[in-house]
Structure 1
Amino acid sequence: MKQTKLMSFVEALVIVAVGFAAAVLTQIVVFPLFGMHPAIGDSLAIGAIFTGVSIARSYALRRFFERVGLRG
């Protein structure tokens, strides 16, 4: 059964939302190890930028694989 475009987007959104939380928590732990001390708001903004890029990337790749028939 083919996945609809909407469900491709929803799946990618859920995956990336979990990744966003993991990324922000990782930034809070890792950045200070490299001498960077961004405020929580800055970490959230950085995470939001990368999340937007990740959503677009995930959606585009899913649609590509759906088009060429490589999704199971």
Structure 2
Amino acid sequence: MKQSRLMSLVESIANVLVGYGVAVVTQILIFPIFGLQTTLAQNLKMGLVFTIVSLGRSYALRRLFERWRRL
């Protein structure tokens, strides 16, 4: 079954939003172990940057695999 571009984007967004939450919580828990002190605002901003990169990567890979599937 073919997945539309819109549904690829929706799935990628859902995946990345969950990843954002996991990333921020992980940063809050792990950074202090390595001596990195950050505020919640800094963690949220870093998480946002990683989320944007992840969204683009996820969408591009999904479209690439869809193209390969059609060959």
Q: TM-score, normalised by structure 2?
A: 0.96
The percentage of counterpart residues that share the same residue type is: 51
Amino acid of the structure 2 residue aligned with 1:37 = Q
- The 3-state SS of whatever aligns with 2:26 is helix
1:40 corresponds to: 40
Aligned positions, number: 70
Q: CA deviation at 1:41?
A: 0.3
1:14 corresponds to: 14
Structure 1: 5+ residue stretches without partners: none
Q: CA deviation at 1:33?
A: 0.4
Q: TM-score, normalised by structure 1?
A: 0.94
Task: Provide the aligned C-alpha RMSD in A.
Answer: 1.0
Counterparts in 2 of 1:1-72, with a 5 A limit? 1-69=1-69
